[in-house]
């Protein structure tokens, strides 16, 4: 963990060498999801509600997912851009260092310009929370934090899976974007508005349901029960991460025996 922070600081220093570019990128990143959010807003303007979900409820869901996505893009960028590490042969360098490969890949790149996107999501989050008085309680706000953390872990898991494929294909496969960008687009709405099989897929295969559906229902008082269950279920992302890391290790072993 200490080493991770060291990696973080060296990348921050590097990024600060190019201040103007950093600022412009961040501003750009601020406006990208802004457009998406704008369309969300105008849709509700026209239709009023979405299968019983009000604008601020969906906005909350939107903010949680986008926050999680930008956090994972910022801190797990190393996996997202892993193909260049393999194609350039720099992965060999990581293998002659006495640390786990996952940690080193994680530390190989950070994308601080995502701070723009992050900021935008935080604004939406604060705005929607302030308009939803039913969640102003400590356990619920805590659950909200857990939801964000969990979402970050799930996106990171997908990035790891996508990176693992690079051991076989060398080039990054765009298919993975179906699950990262696609997953983000799907999960920014409450999952029950979709067909059943979509909901199932995003609950049991890629557990976005643990972020943007089940706990959300509790937080918004859409389902009765104690807070214990949703708080537990938000750890579903960790369960998802474990197989991802195992598959990663398998990929590393494949790389070392083929050298491709």
Partner 1 sequence: MNRNDAWIRLEGIEKRFKVATRTAGLKEATKALFVRKHTVVEALKDISFSIREGEIVGYIGPNGAGKSTTIKVMSGILVPDEGQCSVMGYIPWKDRTEYVKHIGVVFGQRSQLWWDVPVIDSFELLRDIYSIADGMYRDNLAMLTEMLDLEAILKMPVRQLSLGQRMRCEIAASLLHSPKLLFLDEPTIGLDAVSKLAVRNFIKRLNREQGVTVILTTHDMSDIEALAERILMIGKGTLLYDGTLDELKERFGTGKTVTVDYRGHSEPITIEGTTLIEWTTERAVYGFDSEKVTLAEMVTRLSESVEVVDLAVSAKDIDEVIVQLYAEHQI
Contacts to partner 1 by CB under 8 A: 2-3, 6-7, 10, 13-14, 17-18, 88-90, 92-93, 95-100, 104, 253, 256-260
Phi first, then psi, for residue 230 (nearest 5°) are -65, -30
Q: Please give the Cα distance from 179 to 162 (Å, whole number).
A: 9
Q: Tell me the closest approach of the beta carbon of residue 22 to partner 1, in angstroms.
A: 12
* Closest approach of partner 1 to the CB of residue 6, in Å: 5
Instruction: Provide the minimum distance between the beta carbon of 182 and partner 1 in the complex, in angstroms, as a whole number.
Output: 24
Residue closer to partner 1, measured from CB, 2 or 196: 2
**For residues 103 and 122, which CB has a smaller minimum distance to partner 1 in the complex?**
103
Please compute Rg for the chain using Cα positions.
Answer: 19
Q: How many CB atoms lie within 10 A of CB 18?
A: 11
Q: Please, which residue, 10 or 246, has the CB nearer to partner 1?
A: 10
Between 190 and 251, name the residue whose CB sits nearer to partner 1.
Answer: 251
Min CB(52)–partner 1 separation in Å: 47
CB nearer to partner 1: give 45 or 258.
258
What is d(CA 251, CA 260) in angstroms, rounded to the nearest whole number? 11
Distance CA(149)–CA(72), nearest Å, equals: 9
Contact at 8 Å (CB) between 70 and 213? Answer: no
Sign of dihedral through CA atoms 177, 179, 182, 187?
negative
Q: Which is nearer to partner 1, 119 or 173 (CB)?
A: 173
N residues, the chain:
260
Cα–Cα distance measured from residue 178 to residue 57, given in angstroms and rounded to the nearest whole number: 25
From the CB of 44, what's the least distance to partner 1, in Å?
A: 44
Report, in Å, the least distance between residue 167 CB and partner 1: 13
Q: Is the dihedral of CA 10, 159, 242, 185 positive or negative?
A: positive
């Amino acid at each position: 963990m200490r080493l991770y922070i060291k990696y973080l600081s060296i990348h921050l220093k590097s990024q600060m060498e190019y201040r103007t570019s950093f600022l412009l990128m961040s501003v750009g990143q601020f406006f990208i999801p802004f457009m998406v959010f704008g369309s969300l807003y105008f849709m509700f303007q026209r239709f009023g509600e979405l299968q019983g979900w009000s604008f601020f409820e969906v906005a909350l869901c939107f903010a949680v997912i986008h926050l999680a996505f930008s956090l994972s893009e910022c801190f797990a960028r190393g996996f997202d851009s892993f193909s260049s590490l393999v194609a350039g042969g720099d992965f060999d360098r990581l293998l002659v260092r006495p640390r786990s490969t996952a940690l080193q890949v994680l530390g190989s790149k950070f994308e601080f310009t995502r701070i723009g996107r992050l900021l935008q999501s935080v604004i939406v989050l604060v705005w929607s929370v302030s308009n939803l008085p039913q969640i102003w309680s400590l356990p619920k706000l805590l659950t909200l934090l857990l939801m964000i953390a969990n979402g970050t872990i799930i996106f990171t898991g997908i990035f790891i899976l996508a990176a693992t494929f690079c051991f076989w294909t060398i080039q990054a496969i765009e298919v993975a974007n179906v699950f990262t960008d696609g997953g983000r687009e799907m999960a920014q709405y409450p999952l029950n508005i979709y067909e059943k099989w979509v909901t199932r897929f995003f609950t049991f295969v890629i557990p976005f349901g643990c972020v943007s559906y089940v706990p959300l229902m509790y937080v918004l008082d859409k389902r009765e029960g104690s807070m214990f269950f949703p708080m537990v279920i938000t750890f579903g992302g960790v369960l998802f991460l474990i197989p991802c890391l195992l598959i990663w290790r398998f990929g590393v072993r494949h790389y070392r025996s083929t050298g491709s």
